[in-house]
A and B are shown apart, each in its own frame.
Chain A
């Protein structure tokens, strides 16, 4: 009989089994069970009922609105993220750390507060409420408000992905390109972009997932007008509160599939381009 000795840095078998079981049980009960329930409820009446529930006009309208909100918020935050990362990592100027803190600020604000601040600015009793009403411009309880709230909650995603990445890559390559006569735009397109493309994609992926799934902030500014200002998550709530559980879980399953797709793509990026993403995930 050959006895296998443990390395001094290995846990004994009983401890491995115990901690492994605790970890797996906790994840299974806390995370996987809710996910399984969503799909079970959504397909309880078969795939035909699932499709019928999706093809309901108000549901389709909510899908469209969510896509519009994400379609505006994500590209804007992407451009902002690139601009912010460029000025923060390629130049030295006073107050840089403070600027980075401010960019991260939306992450530490409650989603409901994120919605509230736009009500205080654009609401009937808000700063610009009166003049907006006089000119018949609708921001609150309309699509622009939803877009604004979505921009706020997804604000830092791209920037905070790119800043550590570009800081790590330094300025040498860009400065070489500039001294060789490249314009700023050429430098960015041919030198910087190829270096950051996977990090950029990673940030956009997370930004998009949050934009499509945001609930609290959008809930405050939306007004919950069925088929008009209800995004997908808000439509889930409306159906659920009206005791239409199959309908609510159908839309929920659609959102859950989107979340799973995001996770799969995220894992793929982390696995395939680990080196290119490394700087952003090392701290």
Chain B
């Protein structure tokens, strides 16, 4: 019997769901778990601000304080993503192309912001950049204040988003063929010209993808920022903190309205990422 069915399979290769058992069970559990824990609660977020009506929704998110917090979160996230992309490319290049002692350690340390709880990063950065801290005291001599200003927000965002840029660019760099660089060199290009006009253009899709991921993470970040930001309304108060403030005032709809704006922004980012990836696939 078994031999017969094995022969049958060979003659008529079945690529149907019947070959392996467990389709209904695994898909059913996946959909149930996803719907009950993620989709229904997210639906609550989208539905809640509707009780405000369109004008009420607009009124809730267009107050100067809310607008300032959104501008701070997204503006600083963009700046952090650009800074991280710049240094991320350099770090990835050093890790992929150069050989030096301690490289493995340096490579592993890149993921520290992923592994270190954000609250720990928050109090460490805050102490470090405070006017009497290790870095803050040096900067204070030049009249620069970081902690308890919008620049504190930037420092925290640069910290937590760095791995995204390095880890997106690194594998792409590792798979670059050396032939094009050799070709550029034989055609008389200097090494810097080769790097700027041959290597860097091949990296753009990965750099932009990493930048988008870093931006998305930084815009939504909360834990590492609130300790160093000082949280002055309309100056150094980030959007996620304002959501919590509204919740503590039992303004659920107002909190949800800001949440919807942030969710919409991350959707746009997700779409942009997908677009970037198909663009990169086409270029390959």
Question: A interface vs B, CB < 8 Å?
Answer: 6, 8-9, 11-12, 15-16, 19-20, 22-24, 26-27, 29-35, 37-38, 41, 76, 79-80, 83-84, 86-88, 90-93, 99, 101-103, 105-106, 108-113, 116-121, 123-127, 148, 151-152, 155, 171, 174-175, 178-181, 183-184, 187-188, 206, 209, 212-216, 219-220, 232-234, 236-237, 240, 245, 248-249, 252, 255-256, 259-260, 262-264, 266-267, 281-283
Provide 29 A-B residue pairs closer than 8 Å at the C-beta atoms, listed in order of the A residue.
A6-B191, A8-B184, A22-B87, A31-B162, A33-B135, A35-B124, A37-B134, A80-B29, A92-B15, A92-B17, A101-B270, A108-B269, A108-B270, A112-B222, A119-B255, A124-B250, A126-B252, A127-B44, A178-B20, A180-B6, A184-B20, A188-B22, A206-B114, A216-B118, A233-B223, A234-B119, A255-B119, A256-B116, A266-B111
Q: What's the nearest-Cβ distance from chain A to residue B230, in Å?
A: 13
B158 interface contact, C-beta 8 A: yes
Known contacts A23-B91, A121-B41: A83-B171 contact under CB 8 Å? no
Residue on A nearest B21 in the bound complex, by CB: A184
Known contacts A11-B191, A15-B191: A116-B259 contact under CB 8 Å? yes
B45 interface contact, C-beta 8 A: yes
Does the CB pair B240–A113 fall under 8 Å?
A: yes
Assembly CA distance A23 to B106 (angstroms): 9
Task: Enumerate chain A residues within 8 angstroms of B26, measured Cβ to Cβ.
Answer: 83-84, 86-87
> Among residues 208 to 228 in chain B, which have CB atoms less than 8 Å away from a CB atom of chain A?
216, 219-223, 227
Contact with A along B79-120 (1 / 0, CB 8 A): 000000001001101110110100010111111111111111
Q: What's the nearest-Cβ distance from chain B to residue A185, in Å?
A: 8
Assembly CA distance A268 to B243 (angstroms): 40
Does the CB pair B111–A112 fall under 8 Å?
A: no
Assembly CA distance A124 to B135 (angstroms): 44
Assembly CA distance A216 to B195 (angstroms): 41
Does the CB pair A179–B243 fall under 8 Å?
A: no
Task: Enumerate chain A residues within 8 angstroms of B112, measured Cβ to Cβ.
Answer: 31, 35, 259, 263
Task: Enumerate chain B residues within 8 angstroms of A255, measured Cβ to Cβ.
Answer: 116-117, 119-120
Q: What's the nearest-Cβ distance from chain A to residue B165, in Å?
A: 12
Does the CB pair A263–B23 fall under 8 Å?
A: no
Task: Enumerate chain A residues within 8 angstroms of B17, measured Cβ to Cβ.
Answer: 91-93
Task: Enumerate chain B residues within 8 angstroms of A22, measured Cβ to Cβ.
Answer: 87, 90
Which of the listed residues B23, B45, B178 has the most CB atoms from chain A within 10 Å of its own CB? B45
Q: What's the nearest-Cβ distance from chain A to residue B113, in Å?
A: 7
Contact with A along B256-278 (1 / 0, CB 8 A): 10010011001101100000000
Does the CB pair A80–B30 fall under 8 Å?
A: yes
Residue of A19, A31, A92 near B93 (CB, 8 A) is A19
Assembly CA distance A102 to B171 (angstroms): 25
Residue on B nearest A8 in the bound complex, by CB: B185
Counting residue pairs across A and B whose Cβ atoms lie within 8 Å, the total is 291
Q: What's the nearest-Cβ distance from chain A to residue B174, in Å?
A: 10
Does the CB pair A27–B19 fall under 8 Å?
A: no
Identify the stretch in B31-39, B55-63, B145-153 within 8 Å (CB) of chain A at 4 or more residues: B31-39
Residue of A26, A106, A249, A266 near B87 (CB, 8 A) is A26
Assembly CA distance A99 to B87 (angstroms): 34
Identify 19 new A-B residue pairs, CB closer than 8 A, beyond the known A19-B93, A19-B94, A152-B41: A22-B90, A24-B94, A27-B109, A29-B135, A33-B135, A34-B159, A80-B29, A87-B22, A91-B20, A108-B266, A111-B240, A112-B244, A148-B37, A179-B9, A180-B2, A213-B115, A215-B223, A219-B223, A252-B119
Does the CB pair A240–B108 fall under 8 Å?
A: no
Q: Is the interface of A mostly helix, strand, loop or mixed?
A: helix
Known contacts A9-B178, A120-B256: A112-B240 contact under CB 8 Å? yes
Q: What's the nearest-Cβ distance from chain A to residue B235, in Å?
A: 19
Does the CB pair A116–B20 fall under 8 Å?
A: no
Does the CB pair B44–A34 fall under 8 Å?
A: no
Residue on B nearest A156 in the bound complex, by CB: B38
Assembly CA distance A152 to B45 (angstroms): 14
Assembly CA distance A267 to B155 (angstroms): 27
B169 interface contact, C-beta 8 A: no
Does the CB pair A212–B117 fall under 8 Å?
A: yes
B65 interface contact, C-beta 8 A: no
Assembly CA distance A175 to B26 (angstroms): 17
B200 interface contact, C-beta 8 A: no
Known contacts A9-B178, A29-B135: A263-B111 contact under CB 8 Å? yes
Residue of B40, B94, B115, B119 near A262 (CB, 8 A) is B115
**9 closest pairs, A vs B, by CB?**
A110-B220, A213-B117, A8-B185, A184-B21, A215-B223, A112-B240, A34-B124, A216-B222, A117-B41
Assembly CA distance A175 to B220 (angstroms): 43
Does the CB pair A187–B269 fall under 8 Å?
A: no
Residue on B nearest A192 in the bound complex, by CB: B20
Task: Enumerate chain A residues within 8 angstroms of B125, measured Cβ to Cβ.
Answer: 34
Assembly CA distance A268 to B189 (angstroms): 41
